[in-house]
Amino acid sequence: MPRVKLHRFADNATRPDIIEPGKPEFEALGGRWQTDFFRNHHPLTLEMGCGKGEYTVGLAQRHPQRNFLGLDIKGERLWSGSTRAAALGLANVGFVRARAEALTAQFAPGELGEIWITFPDPRPRDRDIKRRLTAPRFLNQYAELLAPGAPLHLKTDNDGLFDYTLEILAARPGAVVDAQTRDLYAESGPGFAEAQAIQTNFEGKYRAVGVPIKYVRFRLS
């Protein structure tokens, strides 16, 4: 393992804003993220597969009266997000190193006020359908952990994942789509403003070569 990566993993072990296996808080904060981690009662937003934390940190900057957590399995990515948040002096953001499949081990029912899924791996192979972050097994987890009526957002460059998500939502009882578009930055109006406000480096690269960004905001019963 490269020395830089080892150094960053060692840093993660000492950073209070990164919760990961081996720390006593791991899988012990469910239902207590607001009181024990953020030490306030602000609403909690989760970004799934946050990568280097650009979106999580961007949201935290925009909404100082909310709490934000980025979840990813890659410790080096979380180190980048933590470093960015520290440089900006943000106290309303944290990171969780965990697999998406184990989400219910990290949070209590109804604890989340919002979920963002930003540019996830589209898992295009048929054998990987169950691993898509909008597959029914993940939607079931989200429905359990979100407060009633709380929104979910998907941003993606991938047509296949976008179409699949809309099909799954159309077939799911109680699911409500509040806004959708196949070209986010061609839209205007308040329904799309929040999704347009933050652009990651990854997103910018796709836009630069003419790939439109797809977006859907929805709720689960």
**Residues annotated as binding site for substrate?**
157, 200-203
Give the Cα separation of 91 and 208 in Å (integer). Answer: 33
Q: Specify the 3-state DSSP secondary structure of 48.
A: strand
* CB proximity list for 23: less than 8 A, separation 6 or greater: 13
Q: How far apart are CA 138 and CA 103, in angstroms?
A: 9
Q: What residues are designated binding site?
A: 47, 72, 121, 157, 200-203
In DSSP notation, 82-137 reads: HHHHHHTT-SSEEEEE--GGGGGGTS-TT-BSEEEEES-----SGGGGGGSTTSHH
Cβ 219 vs Cβ 178: under 8 Å: yes
Kindly report the number of other CB atoms within 10 A of residue 70's CB atom. Answer: 32
- Would you state the structure tokens that stand for residue 51, as one six-digit string? 């990568």
163: annotated active-site residue? no
| Binding site, annotated residues for S-adenosyl-L-methionine | 47, 72, 121
Which of 121, 128, 159, 183 is an active site residue?
121
Which positions are catalytic?
121
